């Protein structure tokens, strides 16, 4: 809105200045410059505002020789007709340009809204608390202006505790959304019934392999939060951080390739104290979404949530 007001002010000042100059310097044919006002308006302003500038420009070129006939020498009929026709034609072009631009802007805003809704439906918000584990998500795209991408996350509650999936697929845009959707659908379909994380990783790889192209792959991190620790399976994903008294990078002792590249998932267990936090990113870049699972609300209120493992 501020940008439109600034553009409106510029066009109005220019139009006023040209009209004043045409009156003050009658020997110089400046009235044809009145067409610049509608052309400026067409670049940023809505159709109605552009049409208003077009009407003002046309009226001014018609009125100046009549209203200021004592100071402005009357142009010849042919010259006057050419000026009026030029301004009328350019004003009409400006109005049509503003109309097309307004329609394109509306279509872009509609598609942007659909992209945002699709992304929110795909990567649904995590609950603030799941099975005694507090969770928080913050998303920011690594590509400026990108609304959809391949980041994925979800959580389900297992009998042993919360289970999380975090991952990233290659590429951006609708292709990445399609692959993310395939991974999340497979996870949501099998996560609650498959107790073993390694078998779950193999199942996800089998399910999404048919969706992957020759150069596509999916990095994946599966986490089962259990009393006193977390079980991790990492398939080519950046390792998470354990946030407590210090930052510990929880690297897998036996790294596995991503899904789609013949993964060899291995399970490893990490101790987590009740005051620890668990943080990870969907991609290797430090700018994308960050997930953090801070200490449980019950820990803050009534002591440790789970006893440490022996």
Which pLDDT tens digit goes with each residue over 153-168? 888 899 888 999 988 8
Domain boundaries, the chain: 2-118, 126-302
User: Which residue shows structure tokens 């350019």?
Assistant: 90
User: How many other CB atoms are found less than 10 A from the CB of residue 110?
Assistant: 10
User: How many other CB atoms are found less than 10 A from the CB of residue 68?
Assistant: 16
Nearest one of 223, 225, 218, 224 to 204, comparing CA atoms: 218
Phi, psi (degrees; rounded to nearest 5) at 155:
-150, 145
How confident is the model at residue 302, as a pLDDT?
Answer: 22
Rounded Cα gap, residues 57 and 39, in angstroms: 11
User: Which residue shows structure tokens 């006193």?
Assistant: 228
Q: Which two tokens stand for residue 227?
A: 């009393």
- Which residues 6+ apart lie within 8 Å of 109 measured at CB? none
Rounded Cα gap, residues 143 and 71, in angstroms: 60
How confident is the model at residue 39, as a pLDDT?
Answer: 82
Rounded Cα gap, residues 177 and 276, in angstroms: 32
Report residue 74's pLDDT band, with 50, 70 and 90 as the boundaries: low
User: How many other CB atoms are found less than 10 A from the CB of residue 117?
Assistant: 10
Give the torsion sign (CA, 39, 41, 47, 50): negative
Q: Is 219 helix (H, G, I), strand (E, B) or coil?
A: strand
How confident is the model at residue 290, as a pLDDT?
Answer: 33
How confident is the model at residue 199, as a pLDDT?
Answer: 94
- How does pLDDT run across 193-244, given as a tens digit for each residue? 899 999 999 999 998 888 888 788 999 999 998 888 889 999 998 888 877 6
Rounded Cα gap, residues 86 and 76, in angstroms: 15
Taking the mean position of all CA atoms in its chain, how far away is CA 82? 49
Max CA pair span of the chain: 103
Taking the mean position of all CA atoms in its chain, how far away is CA 260? 27
**Overall average pLDDT of the 102-123 stretch:** 77
How confident is the model at residue 204, as a pLDDT?
Answer: 92
Is residue 269 scored above 70 in pLDDT? yes
Q: Which two tokens stand for residue 174?
A: 């609708």
How many alpha carbons lie under 13 Å from residue 117 in its C-beta half-sphere?
A: 6
Rounded Cα gap, residues 260 and 212, in angstroms: 7
Q: Which two tokens stand for residue 140?
A: 């920011």
The domain 126-302: what is its CATH number? 3.60.40.10
In order of 53, 117, 122, 158, the CA distances from 130 in angstroms are 59, 24, 19, 10
**Element holding 234 (H helix, E strand):** strand 229-235
pTM over 0.75: no
Give the residues across from 224 on adjacent strands: 163, 231
């Amino acid at each position: 809105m501020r940008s439109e007001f600034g553009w409106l002010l510029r066009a109005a000042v220019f139009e006023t200045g040209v009209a004043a100059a045409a009156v003050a310097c009658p020997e110089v044919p400046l009235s044809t410059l009145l067409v610049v006002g509608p052309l400026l308006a067409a670049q940023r302003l809505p159709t109605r505002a552009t049409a208003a500038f077009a009407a003002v420009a046309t009226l001014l070129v018609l009125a100046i020789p009549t209203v200021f006939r004592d100071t402005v020498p009357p142009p010849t009929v042919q010259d006057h007709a050419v000026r009026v026709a030029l301004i009328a034609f350019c004003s009409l072009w400006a109005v049509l340009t503003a109309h097309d631009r307004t329609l394109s802007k509306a279509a872009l805003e509609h598609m942007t809204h659909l992209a945002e809704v699709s992304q929110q439906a795909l990567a649904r918000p995590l609950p603030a608390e799941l099975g005694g584990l507090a969770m928080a998500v913050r998303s920011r795209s690594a590509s400026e202006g990108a609304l959809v991408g391949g980041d994925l996350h979800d959580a389900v509650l297992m009998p042993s505790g919360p289970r999380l999936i975090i991952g990233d697929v290659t590429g951006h845009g609708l292709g990445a959304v399609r692959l993310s959707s395939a991974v999340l659908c497979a996870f949501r379909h099998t996560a609650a019934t498959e107790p073993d994380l390694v078998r779950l990783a193999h199942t996800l790889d089998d399910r999404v392999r048919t969706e992957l192209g020759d150069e596509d792959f999916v990095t994946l991190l599966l986490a089962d939060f259990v009393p006193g620790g977390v079980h991790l399976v990492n398939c080519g994903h950046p390792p998470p951080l354990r946030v407590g008294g210090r930052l510990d990078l929880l690297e897998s002792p036996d790294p596995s390739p991503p899904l789609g590249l013949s993964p060899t998932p291995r399970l490893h267990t990490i101790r987590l104290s009740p005051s620890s936090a668990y943080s990870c990113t969907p991609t290797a870049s430090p700018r994308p979404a960050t997930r953090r699972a801070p200490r449980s609300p019950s820990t803050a209120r009534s002591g440790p949530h789970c006893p440490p493992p022996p």
